[in-house]
Structure 1
Amino acid sequence: MDWQKLWNDITTFFSNNWLNMIWFVLALVLGIILIKIICSLLSKGLAKKMDRIVSNFIVVIVKFCLCMVLVFVLAGIMNINTTGLVAVISAAGLTLSLSLQDSLSNVASGMLIVSQKPFKEKDYVEIDGVGGQITRIGVFTTELVTFDNRKITLPNRSVTSSPIVNYDAMPTRRVDIKFKASLSCEIDKIKAESEKIIYEDPRTQKGSFTIVVDNLDGGVAFVIKYWVDTADYWDSLFLNNEKIFKMLQKLDVALNVSAVRLLEDRLSEKKDGDKTAF
């Protein structure tokens, strides 16, 4: 390799284009500053009108587009043939699109999530059997945090192709408390005491209490149902689970073993502070 020739070519290039180099550096610095200002203003403006997660997603897309514009501006300053540059980028884009089909699918799915808005930040959702609170919608992935503070990252295409259960989408939720007692239990007394406990909770909506009683597998199955605001669901469920359990113990009601375990498990979750963490 002729190093002398290479050095001469470099010095010739800079001597002939020193003015363009100055403009290149100025345009690069100003372009970066301008992109930051635009993205900052856009982020603040969108944050007032839509969910933060959605606004962040839009800002990322806009930032990428502005960076591409800056690249073409810089190429023009250096007298680089932009037609050829477009051809190179197009060819590279085609190659990347074929090798990164899954990634591009995630980007498209991310746009679909942002446009359809099946959930928002801090919503508790279940996606393909995975439950957690929404913390971030990225270009490629959606992030959840579980009750025990585990971070779960799902590809956006998995999110859009799976059933989504949003537990916080509606303003109210129905609380169901289920247990099974022996056939010898006093049904009327259990119903009266249960209604008293549920309506002692100020979060219970007036007139929403019902209790379903059924004869099932040699026992009496009870399902207590009432409505609360969605934000109060977990606190109300855990509190009244505990009160119902204690009431049944006080009445010496013989519970089915599986029902006892269910109630004890829910009380254990409450003590651990898992679901009240949100």
Structure 2
Amino acid sequence: MELDLDTVSVIQAKAIEFLFEFGPKILGALLIFIIGKFIIGFLIKTLDKVFLKYNIDQSLSSFLKSFSRAVLYVLLFITIASNLGVELTSFIAILGAAGLAVGLALQGSLSNFAGGVLILIFKPFKVGDTIEAQGTLGAVENVDILYTKVRNFDNKVVTIPNGALANNSITNLSQKPTRRVDMAIGVAYGTDLKKTRKVILDTLKKDDRVHAEPEPVVKFASFGDSSLDLVVRCWTDAGDLWPVFWDNMEALKEAFEANDIEIPFPQRDVNHYYPEGIPAAKSLGNPDGGQE
């Protein structure tokens, strides 16, 4: 179907009218968005400098920056809608209704937001702490309004919802300045335990990282299948925990060898019986059960 000249003229007139009426508003909205985005970026950077200047906790500053950015963008879009001629009363009513619907749909996200607030108030951990939570062990890298990022020891970043963190147990491995080093050591049956205890304590004293108070402890723990099991405990700075453990395990191995203290291998006594229940050794003619 071909359009006649009158119809084309009407369409052109309407297009020109629309362009003159809404074109400046659209250009204005685009300009407001560009300027607003620049201002938001500037304000967030300013907040960051203020937080650094006043030594605000990094977890709190990260949370506040994320929250402020979200609020500023909402205000920016309200300004753009107002510039386009949308009545603020109607827009806010629509926004409220939409917010209620979105809130019902995103209850988990609201729980995460509330969890983030609780984390910032009660401070079970802060950025840089090593924590164990939700099956993850690692260093806290960032606390956002909804999620906390934890970098584990093989350099993987795990994102954990704040709601789960706030409502479950968290083990903070960095909150206290000292940690206890636990070592389990086995020596052969027949070993002189007093001599062994002295060798262990003398070895630990050579390591300056091991604290004198509380003093190291060596206790006999149990009779193992092939060994006498000892528990060795000492205290050190939190950052030295694993180096002290690894270095002293190696040092104790060398000290045992130098002092003829045997580290046993697993041993088993095996007795073979024929189907009649007679021990194999007796069936060979030795009534005592030994080899002839």
Question: Which residue does 1:109 correspond to in 2?
Answer: 115
**Post-superposition CA distance 1:208-238 (Å, at most 9, x none):** 3232323523554322222211122221121
Matched to 2:171, the amino acid is V
Residues 40-76 of structure 1 show CA distances to partners (whole Å, capped at 9, x for unaligned) of 0101222342343432221011011111112222233
Partner of 1:57: 63
**Whole-angstrom CA distance in 2 between matches of 1:164 and 1:123:** 12
| Match in the other structure for 2:44 | 39
Equivalent residue for 2:124?
118
Q: Flag the 1:155–1:176 CA change in 2: closer, same or farther, 3 A.
A: same
Q: CA deviation at 1:18?
A: 5.6
Which residue of structure 1 aligns with residue 269 of structure 2?
A: none
> Which residue of the other structure, out of 2, 8, 30, is the alignment partner of 2:35?
30
Measure how far apart 1:171 and its partner are.
1.0
Aligned partner of 2:207 in structure 1 is 201
The alignment's C-alpha RMSD in Å is 2.7
- Per-residue CA distance 1:5-46 (angstroms, 9 max, x = gap): 787555434424565555544433332221111100101222
Contact 1:181–1:254 (CA under 8 A) maintained in structure 2:
yes
Residues 63 and 145 in structure 2, CA contact (< 8 A), matched pair in contact too: yes
Question: Is residue 2:159 matched to residue 1:153?
Answer: yes
* Pair 1:229-2:232 in alignment: no
Give aligned-pair identity as a percent: 26
Structure 1: stretches of 5+ with no match in the other structure: 259-278
Specify which structure has the higher proportion of helix: 1
- Per the alignment, do residues 233 and 215 of structure 1 end up closer, same or farther by CA in structure 2, a change over 3 Å counting? closer
The 3-state SS of whatever aligns with 1:169 is coil
* Equivalent of residue 76 in structure 2, options 59, 70, 92: 70
Q: Distance in 1 between matches of 2:179 and 2:223?
A: 29
Cα distance change of structure 1 residues 128 and 26 upon mapping to structure 2, 3 Å threshold: closer
Question: Please, which of 257, 260, 270 is the counterpart of residue 249 of structure 1?
Answer: 257
Calculate the TM-score normalised by the size of structure 2: 0.77
Q: In structure 1, the residue corresponding to 2:155 is in which secondary structure?
A: coil
- Runs of 4+ more than 6 Å apart: 3-7
| Residue ranges of structure 2 left out of the alignment (5+ in a row) | 1-6, 267-292
Worse-matched range after superposition: 14-23 or 81-90: 14-23
Match runs of 1:90-105 below 5 Å: 90-105=96-111
Q: What is the CA-CA distance between 1:84 and the residue it aligns to?
A: 0.7
The one of 226, 243, 248 equivalent to 1:240 is: 248
Tell me the distance in 2 between the aligned counterparts of 1:83 and 1:117.
40
Q: How many residues align?
A: 257
Deviates more, 1:241-250 or 1:47-56: 47-56
Distance 1:248 1:113 in 2: 48
Question: Take 1:8 and 1:56, find their aligned partners in 2: how far apart are those partners?
Answer: 53
Q: 1:38 to 1:82 in 2, by over 3 A?
A: same
**Aligned residue for 1:164?**
170
